[in-house]
């Protein structure tokens, strides 16, 4: 499930993708964390720690975590912000249920609120949060630019929009090895460990037409975000993008 364009799509055009992606994540929710560890060789944990270092969340900061899934990033944000408010939003009830159990196990239910919703139509007011994050979810939405605009809208002036996402290695021979693993081996791992072949066959397809790191930088800037930075991770198989909302008082 990918985007050929980053311009807004009609509601009619987005529905098939939304419905398919929803069915995928509902079906893999119970095995999502296990498969993340397997297919990334647990690197997703290091990528998230790197993102948190770059964000430098302070005590009392607020955040909204879009496509929060099983809430690993929501939990990291809550632990970093102390008594700050963290909202986690996802469209999959199954993923949220797994996340809710993890939040309760860490006794963070008073600091993390989870809601089911659409990342393209956030149910929050303007200028509400210090941070807006999306982890491994931007390539799954019908219109990434629309989601980034919503993220910019709900952060405060000077607030930070952060995307952690799979990306595309550019250098050989690593590029060839990576795509062989991603396209041929990964679906077989999904079949073996999660009993889901088609769902994990879809994962490399979801990345095929998604913007590369530099292209996504351009979209960040076109959204109006300032001081945009991107960081390739593990040879470029993932990337961190950061942008700031203009601070009129600066």
pLDDT of res. 189: 63
Q: What is the pLDDT of residue 107?
A: 97
DSSP 68-83: -TT-HHHHHHHHHHTT
- pTM of the predicted model as reported, rounded to 2 decimal places: 0.83
Q: For helices 72-81 and 93-105, give the axis angle rounded to 10 degrees.
A: 40
Cα separation values, 36 from 5, 29, 44, 203, Å: 27, 11, 7, 12
Task: Give per-10-residue mean pLDDT for the chain (250 aa).
Answer: 28 56 62 65 89 98 97 98 96 94 97 97 98 95 96 98 91 70 66 58 73 96 98 94 86
Task: Dihedral sign for Cα 76, 82, 87, 92, please.
Answer: positive
The pLDDT value recorded for residue 13 is 43
Q: Which helix (H) or strand (E) holds 66?
A: strand 63-66
DSSP letter, residue 224? T
- CB-based contacts of 44, cutoff 8 Å, min separation 6: 36, 37, 136, 238
| Per-residue model confidence (pLDDT) at position 241 | 98
Q: How much is the pLDDT for 10?
A: 30
Q: Which distant-in-sequence residues (6+ apart) come within 8 Å of 26 by Cβ?
A: 92, 93, 94, 95
């Amino acid at each position: 499930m990918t985007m050929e364009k980053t311009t807004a799509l009609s509601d009619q055009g987005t529905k098939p993708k939304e419905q398919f992606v929803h069915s995928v994540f509902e079906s893999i929710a119970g095995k999502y964390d296990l498969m993340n560890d397997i297919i990334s060789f647990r690197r997703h944990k290091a990528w998230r720690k790197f993102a948190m270092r770059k964000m430098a969340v302070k005590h009392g900061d607020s955040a909204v975590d879009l496509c929060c899934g099983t809430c690993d990033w929501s939990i990291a944000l809550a632990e970093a912000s102390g008594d700050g408010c963290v909202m986690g939003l996802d469209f999959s009830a199954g993923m949220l249920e797994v996340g809710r159990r993890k939040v309760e196990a860490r006794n963070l239910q008073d600091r993390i609120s989870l809601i089911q919703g659409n990342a393209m139509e956030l149910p929050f007011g303007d200028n509400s949060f210090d941070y807006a994050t999306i982890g491994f979810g931007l390539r799954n939405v019908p219109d990434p630019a629309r989601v980034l605009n919503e993220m910019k809208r709900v952060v405060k002036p000077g607030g930070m929009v952060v995307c952690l996402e799979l990306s595309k290695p550019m250098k050989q021979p690593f590029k060839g090895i990576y795509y062989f693993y991603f396209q041929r081996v990964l679906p077989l791992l999904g079949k073996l460990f999660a009993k889901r072949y088609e769902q994990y066959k879809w994962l490399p397809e979801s990345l095929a037409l998604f913007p590369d790191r530099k292209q996504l930088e351009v979209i960040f800037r076109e959204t109006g975000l300032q001081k945009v930075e991107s960081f390739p991770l593990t040879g470029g198989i993932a990337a961190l993008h950061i942008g700031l909302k203009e601070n009129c008082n600066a």
